[in-house]
Chain A
């Protein structure tokens, strides 16, 4: 199975900050990497698919990059509604494993 490791596990930031979350795969997954946002008590929501494609309706302050084993999710200017937990997921092969999550909290 492909292991996905996110860092950091938690992060404190302020409104307006630029934030980067990293996701590393245990083997190359090319660009088969997705990002989801989950708020407490809610289902995950797709943000970015295929490493860098922004899902319709997602604000442009979210962006993704990377290839192979190393990927990043960047939020260019944090807004209050962005405080949530973020998960990466590989869709290269089943089981479609997720990272352990990064909890983004208000400083």
Chain B
């Protein structure tokens, strides 16, 4: 298996623009997680899905952030409009079982100018 795939790897955009991050989890994994990592706040869970259904979005910073999982092999995290404080590395991870090992993608480094 290719592991968790994220795209793009790097994204540079101007404040106010829409940003869409993409994730393909490992086939057969029922759980998908979106994280944000910064030096100041560390690794923060934004939202997670179980069987394509959003379970907990309490970590989503505000209404500018939204996430979808239309099928078992694809998820998106959208920021609209983007702001400089959204600059971070965004990780997607998937897990086979509840509370099990999480397999992380390589991350998307987002820079909002």
Asked if A and B are interacting partners, one says no
